[in-house]
Structure formats: structure tokens, C-alpha cells
Amino acid sequence: MSDLVGIDVGGTFTDFVRYDPETQAVDVWKTLSTPADPIDGIIAGLDRSGETADIGAVGNIRFGTTIATNAILERKGATVAYLTTTGFRDVPFIQRGKRKSHYDITWVKAKPLVKRRHCYEVDERILARGEVYHPLDTERVRAVAREIKALGRVEAVAINFLFSFVTPDHEREAQAIFAEECPEIPVSISYEVLPKWKEFERSSTTITDAYIKPVVGHHLGAMRERLDAKGITRHVAAIKSNGGEMTLEAAARHPIQMTLSGPTGGVVGAKQIARSVGVDHLVTLDMGGTSTDVSTVVGGNESFTTSFEIEFGLPIQIPMIDIRTMGAGGGSLAWIDKGGMLRVGPESAGANPGPACYGLGGARATATDANLVIGRINPENFLGGAMALDADAARRAIAQVAGAIDKPVEETALAMVQIANNNMIGALRSVLTERGLDPRDFTLLAFGGAGPVHVADLMVNANIPSGIVPNHPGQFSAFGFLMTDARVDLERTAQMTSAAFDADHANRVLSDLIGEGVAALEEQGYRKNIEIQRSLEMRYLGQNHELDVPIAFDRFDEGTLPGLWEAFHRAHRDRFNFDIPGEKIEMTSVKVTAVSVTDKPELAEIGAAEGEPEPAGTRRVLFEEGWAETPVHDRARLRHGHRFEGPALIEEPASVTVVRPGQPVRIDRYSNILIGEIARSS
């Protein structure tokens, strides 16, 4: 097993973790991101790697990136042409009848990622059971392909025919024609992107895949070339939105799978922390320079969703870890609203110019500046001293805000921190109380450069009894990438009810999906330790929303079906606190996950010690209770078994953990900081 490198490309910093399997040594570092070209930040960081070890020894790189996300959110993707069945050209524009704000008469629905003049209809028709009612008009497809090529503006094509999720022959035939007529234009077909019912959701997802395909393909191709030039010719994998990895070639073919690539590493790493600490339920909080991501690990497993929207009303229905993102980070800017009230975020100072204290030209106050002014951040220890912070510049920036609200500078800075905390409380509630989960059953795992700074406040304000700050929190998402497996999630609509269940058809769909999942892994070179997970989307007949029900069997028959219906009743009872015995149950989709287990780091244990550690010094810090002379601990000197009470600061190169007065702290054998009383696994 060669060295592993995890890379997390964020909005402000690009984080790196390098693991040596022989010594179990972990090396971490950061570089400023380059938003204009994220690959530059990766290459610059790998050059830094060469200072401490031979870069040629890197055997496996796993990276998460916001390339796909930014292309969608900033609407900087390709010009797309859309090909669909006659009569369905306007589906992407009609969308759904729901409104973002019921009483806002000025609201305008989001525009799709394709222009109507680039939408084409083709005569063909497949019925709901897969019968061909009208064959594909291949001459019309060929004429459209030639017209698109002649336009010279279209950079990608999305094809979505009616009921293609049942029989994909027409889509594949059209794809082959485009490959003949304009091979330089990439084509996305809905059967490969989302073979699932609901015409609008399928069209939106397929169009998005085509929209980002040229952008992602260009960046990944450039990355491969630049890595080859540096002598890194071994395995390089991109992280998918489901937390699994895939090769660069597969990512270029299916870029939609990278929509939320970056934030998944922290959740994958959280599973490892849950096992090592011995807890069942975690809520994760990844607070970086630009945004905060929150998610949950329930019963030791991450939560998944297919309900994601680019903007309100524009869905992307691919399997992804359920992560909620909000504009709250260390770089969140303070501002005064029209009513004279102080606000923080969601606008961020980003990497350039960054917070005022960075000394890169920023003059507006941020959350990082506020934490610096009230003593929570050491200006001499930022990034381990590699980047000194300008405390005077931070104070001047906050003084401007303080003057606008007629408050002292320190009081204003504390208020900014409290407002940022309140913003994050809303995000925590969205993944806990809004889903019927009790915060008192959870432990808050805080990471990212800014997460540990706020963990203690959030525990109190969100009624979460315990918290964990993992080792290397500033690079924890990058570390999580080292814990990923290769993963393929497949789904296909197969609609039937408990009263009229076609076991033969269900078995064919399940068998096909398993075969496709294994083949997709093997095509990418993942041939070892393949595991198969199966589940069904089910609901009571007449309901609008489905529940995901895992199944342990590989064949539908008289012996397994009664247990299947009971499993759904039980899942419905667990989720909604009631079930309806005897009611007809509808199965809508079959899901298969194929996982190839990869090599992972072994967590190194630290030496043991007893009692309370000796602090390296003290610093005045402002808490809600007032100013306190606060002990400052060097995290590198803390050992397993050390215990103490707050107030305290625990400093490390990429972050600082702030502990409120009276909160108990101890260090476990893996160097995790445990705050409060940790609820152990039952």
C-alpha cells in the first residue's frame, strides 16, 4: 500500500492530508484556493508535498472539488441542446406548480439550464410497459444532429424520451446517431443519468449532466495531464456526491455524480469517528471560510437523499449524502440591514481578498476578524504561524461596524459571533428537529477551520449535550476522502403493488442492476471486495412520497414477500409513528449499491497521561459571561486521558477549539477532543 493523499478544494482553502501506511504518519497542510482555476490550487499544494517527501511515492489521490457545483450555481456551464419526444418539449419550462413563497406575487420560477430555442422534438413513443407504440424517426434525429452541428454554439446534448427508463433502445439509438454526425459533442441520455419515473425531474437531471459535462471534462483532463507531468501516474479518484470514489474518466462521463463532491468527505470521516469513539448518532458541522455544511450519522450510517435542488424548483435526483449548506463561514461579512440591525453573512470575503486580518486587501469585518478581536484566535499561530494575522486591521474593520450601531468594538465582535452561531443553529435544526430527531440523542462533531471555534457555543444553544473535535479538524474532509470506497448507486423504476406483484419482473430488474453495478466498478478497475446493498422505494398506494426500505434477500418470491411488506410497515411506523396494516403497498423503484472496499488508513493511537495538562500560557478571551483569563493548550502536547474544564483554548496549526467556562474536556486514545458527556453506543 502506497502513500494516500486526500485533497479537499474549498472556497477559501485547498486542504491536503497525506498518510504513510508504513509509519501511520499523517501530514496535513493548506494552500489558498484559486477560484479561477481550482487545479492550480491542487498542483501548488502537491508541490508543497514534495518538500517533505518524494512526490513520486504518492500511490493514490482522492479529491473532492466544487468544479461541478460552481458551474451550476454560477451558471457557467455549456450551451445545451435538448432532444425529447414530440409533445414534451416544454416540460423543463413548465416544471412544477409549487411556489417558493406562496404569497410573493413578484416571485419568478427559476430558468432551466437550456434555452427553448435549443429544444427539439422527435417522433417516437414507448408505452408505460415498454411496448414500442411508434418507432424512432431516425432521419429526424439525424437532421437535428446536423442542425445542431451547423449552429456551432451547442456544446452538449441531453436526450430524454418518454418511458425510456423502461426501454432505453430509442435513446441509445439517438445517441449513436449523434456519435456519427457530431462526435465532438458529448451526449447525456436519461437512461444512464436517471432511469426513473417523473418526467420533469428526469429531464432536469439529464440536462444538468449535459450542462456541466464539457466543463468538468476539461478540468479533469487538464488535471490528469499536469499530474502526469509531475510524475504522478498512479490512481487518481474523484469523490462522488454519494461519498464514494470513481476514476477521473468515469467522472468526466458522469459529471452529475460530482454535484456535491466536496462536503462528503467530512461525513464519511464522521462514520470512522463514530466507530472509534463508540457513539451511535452524530450531527456533523463543517465550518470553513465560505460556508457551513451540516449532516447526520444515525446508527453509524450516513443519511442519503435524492431530493436536491440547484435552485428552488430545479431538481437533481441523484443519490447523495444528505448535506445542508448555508452561507456561514469564517469569511462571512458583517453588514447593517435597512432596519439598522447587525447581520452576518451569507456574503463571504472568500479567499481573495479574505477577512481584513489576512492583510490581502480586505477591509470589511468578518466572523474571523470578530473571533480574533475577542481573543479566541491567536494572530501569531494561524496556519501554524505560516500566515500571521493583522489584529489591528481586524479591529479597524469591526470598528466601522461598531460605529454604525453605536456599540463598543468588543461588544460588536461578540455580537457578530453570536449571530453567526444563530445562523448555524438553523442549519442544525434542519437536519435534526425538522426530521423528528432529538438533539439530546446526538453528539456534535465540529471540523473545518472554523468549526472548533464555535462548537462549544453551538452545543449549548442547540441543546446538544456533547461535542467532538477530531484530529486535524481543518483538513478533516480531506482526511475523510482517504476513508472512502468505490461506490456505484443505481436505480430503476419498477412500479407494482402488493396486490399485483410481478416477482419475475422485479427479479429481472434487481439482477440487471446488480450486474450493471459490478460491471461499472470493474470497468474502472475496482475488482476486489465488492459488496452489494439492495433497497426499494415504497409507499402506501396513493401517497406522494416514498420511503427507502433496505432488503437483505436477492430474490423476490413467496418466502420473502411477506417480510418485505412487514418491513415497510415497520419503516413507516418508525418514520411517521403510525402504519396501516392491510393497506395496499406500492413499490416504485428498485435500488442497488455496489461497493468495492478500498485500502484505508489505520488510526494511530497516542500515548497516555493522567490528570490535568499544563497549559502553554493564558490569554484574555471574551465569552458571554464576560472576559476570562483563559488557559491555552497546545493540542500536540495533549495525551490520552488528559482532563480539564473550561474556559480553555486548544490551539493547533489549522484551528483552535474554544471551550466555554465549566465545560468538561478529555482526550481519547485517537487524540479526539471530547467535550461534555459523550453518549455511548447502546
The answer to whether the bond into 647 is cis (omega within 30° of 0) is yes
Pairing outcome for strands 626-634 and 648-652 = parallel
518, 594 contact by CB (below 8 A): yes
CA 21 to chain CA centroid, Å, is 27
- Strand segments, DSSP code E, in 320-363 are 320-321, 324-326, 332-336, 342-348
Hey, where are the domains in the chain? 3-72+217-258, 77-212, 486-596
Q: For residue 330, which of 649, 655, 70 has the smallest C-alpha distance?
A: 655
What letter represents residue 461's amino acid? N
Rounded to 10 deg, the angle between the 169-181 and 138-151 helix axes is 40
Output the pLDDT for position 117. Answer: 96
CATH topology for the 486-596 domain: Dna Ligase; domain 1 (3.30.1490)
What letter represents residue 358's amino acid? Y
Instruction: Please state which CATH number belongs to domain 3-72+217-258.
Output: 3.30.420.40
659, 676 contact by CB (below 8 A): no
Secondary structure of residue 372 in the 3-state scheme? helix
Pairing outcome for strands 486-497 and 466-469 = unpaired
Rounded to 10 deg, the angle between the 199-229 and 38-49 helix axes is 40
Contacts of 482 (CB under 8 A, 6+ apart): 4, 6, 17, 19, 62, 600, 601
492, 195 contact by CB (below 8 A): yes
160, 206 contact by CB (below 8 A): yes
For residue 18, count CB atoms less than 10 angstroms from its CB and return exposed for 0-12, middle for 13-18, buried for 19 or more: buried
Cell of 226: 499536469
Pairing outcome for strands 673-676 and 466-469 = antiparallel
Output the pLDDT for position 56. Answer: 54
What letter represents residue 30's amino acid? K
How far apart (Å, rounded) are the C-alpha atoms in residues 177 and 192?
Answer: 17
171, 210 contact by CB (below 8 A): no
CA atoms within 13 A on the CB side of 391: 13
Cell of 173: 439509438
For residue 669, count CB atoms less than 10 angstroms from its CB and return exposed for 0-12, middle for 13-18, buried for 19 or more: middle
Cell of 123: 417522433
394, 364 contact by CB (below 8 A): no
Per DSSP, what are the bridge partners of residue 499? none
- What are residue 28's phi and psi, to 5 degrees? -130, 150
- Where the chain has pLDDT below 70, the residues are 1-2, 11-12, 48-59, 351, 384, 386, 679-682
Cell of 619: 490569554
Output the pLDDT for position 679. Answer: 62
Region of residue 354 (phi > 0: left; psi between -120 and 50: alpha; otherwise: beta): left
Cell of 126: 414507448
CA atoms within 13 A on the CB side of 560: 12
8, 478 contact by CB (below 8 A): yes
Give the global pTM: 0.87
